[in-house]
Chains A and B, each alone.
Chain A
Amino acid sequence: MLDAYLAELETELRRRLPRAEVQIRLAEAEAHLRDGVEGRIELGLDAPAAEHEAVAAFGDPRRFARASAWAALAPSDALRMRCVALWGAGMFLSAALVRIATAHKLSNDDALSFFGTMACLVALAVAAFAARRPAPLRVAALALFQGVVVWATLSRVYVRAADAACGPYPRAEAPRALRDYERLERAWTAYRRGGVDALRVADGYLAADGRRRRRDRTEAPPYFKLDLSVVPDRNAAQESWARLGTSTGPADVRREIAALERAQSAPTRDALDWIVRGPVPFFSPGFVVLPPLGVDLLFGGLGALAFAARRRFDRGTYA
């Protein structure tokens, strides 16, 4: 019976602990059980009865294995302090990142969510690595999950920042607006090189030999049509462009272009660059995976409850 019990004990231990730990636990259990059997035989019991009593006194092998695994995995007080310090450092880092991100005029509503997400990330990572027997797959799954949560949280941050930078202008039109700006810059370069005619050639209104290529319309050229449906003074834009044709020097052209820009209410060139070519395109798909702070804390809270319940169960009490 003793051998069968030890075999079952070994099976349970192997499911929960590394091989070296299993050997140690098994050796101690075997020594204990054999002492128990010897002691009971000395008291007058026969061998089978002594083994039966010794095994019964030792307890359920599954419970022993669970408690042993907990004892092997539970963090010591020193490690707990390091966990707290790491968690605090994670919070500080989160706050620093949010502070840096506010340079992009982010909404403060997301600061707490990002803050909490980073804190949970640090706490989960430390808890996973605090185990004496870290499970690589579990750690990888945790890291992936939290990575997705962080990405989704940052997506909210960046998308809101991009929307704020665009103002009334639709963010989806930002790539088109950026292309229009780049055409404007090319036109400006052409003007500096060859005057108004060069500008009109660059814009396609005149051929290189000076012949008119397109009907000379009074409306603004395409790259100024930055969603004119939302611009209050479309006439001002058109008049500015008409005056552009009679400008005498670069300063006049720059003034007119600036007036057109203001009239169009489009985001600034720098904002468009950031929205179209910055981190926003990478993060914006995560916007659909909205990680409200409550979800993260709920998972963390459930994990903590399970952790505490398991700890209470596995520590065991005396009968």
Chain B
Amino acid sequence: MIPMAFRGDLEALVLGALDGGAAHGYEIARRIKAVSEEALAVGEGLLYPALHGLERDGLVVAEWVTQEGKPNRKVYRLTDAGRGALAKKRREWQRFAAGVSAVLKPGPSGA
């Protein structure tokens, strides 16, 4: 059984967004929305518990960045373990997507 839920795996999306480079939470949400061409709109608040879970599991590391005149911001980036996890998620998603596509493909008599 492939562990990814049909509606999406938030940790996988976060790992995928961080593959493009270190980012803070707002940037991650923006990347997901932009790259998916707004097909995916993440509940932005829920990104942070996912990020903290990934940080706890060692898949991402974070550091606080000070900004002049603005609140400090926590920036996340992938670790090697995170990259490995992302690769695994990609394989699982490809298998899942291929399976769903095969099932949803119209039959010979379908439209």
Contact = CB atoms under 8 A, between A and B. Distances in A.
Nearest to A312: B5
B77 to A, nearest CB: 16
B56 interface: yes
B110 interface: no
B35 to A, nearest CB: 13
Contacts of A76: 56-57
Interface string B32-50: 0000000011111110111
A74 interface: yes
Given A76-B57, A317-B5, A57 B44 contact: yes
A59 B47 CA distance: 11
A293 interface: no
A28 B40 CA distance: 22
A224 interface: no
B10 A36 contact: no
B52 A71 contact: yes
Contact of A318 (B42, B71, B74): B42
A183 interface: no
Contacts of B74: 24, 27-28, 31
A163 interface: no
Nearest to A36: B26
A314 interface: yes
Interface in B11-68: 13, 24-26, 29-30, 40-46, 48-50, 52-53, 56-57
B105 interface: no
Nearest to A318: B42
B46 A316 contact: yes
Interface residues of A, number: 33
A72 interface: yes
A59 to B, nearest CB: 4
Contacts, number: 100
B83 interface: no
A319 B72 contact: no
Contacts of B73: 28, 31
Contact of A317 (B7, B24, B45, B72): B7
Interface string B64-103: 0000001111100000000000000000000000000000
Contact of B56 (A27, A71, A315): A71
B8 interface: yes
Given A34-B71, A74-B53, A25 B48 contact: yes
A287 to B, nearest CB: 45
A80 to B, nearest CB: 10
B2 to A, nearest CB: 16
Centre residue among A31, A64, A318 by max chain B CB count within 10 A: A318
A35 B41 contact: no
A67 interface: yes
A35 B10 CA distance: 21
Given A59-B44, A76-B56, A76-B57, A27 B10 contact: no
Given A27-B72, A64-B48, 19 more contacts: A29-B48, A31-B25, A31-B71, A31-B73, A32-B26, A34-B71, A35-B26, A59-B44, A59-B46, A61-B45, A63-B43, A64-B46, A74-B53, A76-B57, A315-B49, A315-B50, A317-B5, A318-B13, A318-B42
8 contacts: A25-B48, A28-B25, A36-B44, A64-B49, A71-B53, A316-B49, A317-B8, A318-B40
Interface of A: 24-25, 27-32, 34-36, 39, 57-61, 63-64, 67-68, 70-72, 74, 76-77, 314-319
Interface of B: 5, 7-8, 10, 13, 24-26, 29-30, 40-46, 48-50, 52-53, 56-57, 70-74
List the 10 closest pairs (A to B, CB-CB), nearest first: A71-B49, A316-B46, A59-B45, A67-B49, A64-B45, A35-B26, A71-B52, A318-B42, A58-B45, A31-B71
